[in-house]
Amino acid sequence: MGTEILNDTCIVLLACNDYESTQLTVVNLLSRTPENIPIFFLPNSISNTFDAKRVKEIGSIYSKLFPERLIFVNWVKPSFPFLLQPTTL
């Protein structure tokens, strides 16, 4: 794979209510992907439950710890994933 492809690559992580697996996913992505690939973290929970709040906290915390890698996308309104994707792209 050429480096020019990696320069045009990003990861979009759509996270809902499972905060345990979300945190594991974020840690794995940060540790196992090249540092020049940004990670866009989209919390996508329509509910305001404890789990949904924890997912948002994970995105906020890791974006502060790794501001050059993880972008916390909190400006997109939560929606059904198939409706959210065209807005994001």
Q: Where are the domains of the chain?
A: 17-88
The pLDDT of residue 45? 73
Tens of pLDDT, residue by residue over 24-41, are: 999 999 999 999 999 999
DSSP 67: T
DSSP result, 23-58: HHHHHHHHHHS-TTS-EEEEE--SS--HHHHHHHHH
What's the pTM value of the predicted model, to 2 decimals? 0.79
Beta carbons within 8 Å of 14's beta carbon, 6+ residues apart? 42, 44, 81, 84
The pLDDT of residue 71? 94
Please identify every stretch of the chain with a pLDDT value under 50, giving residue numbers as ranges: none
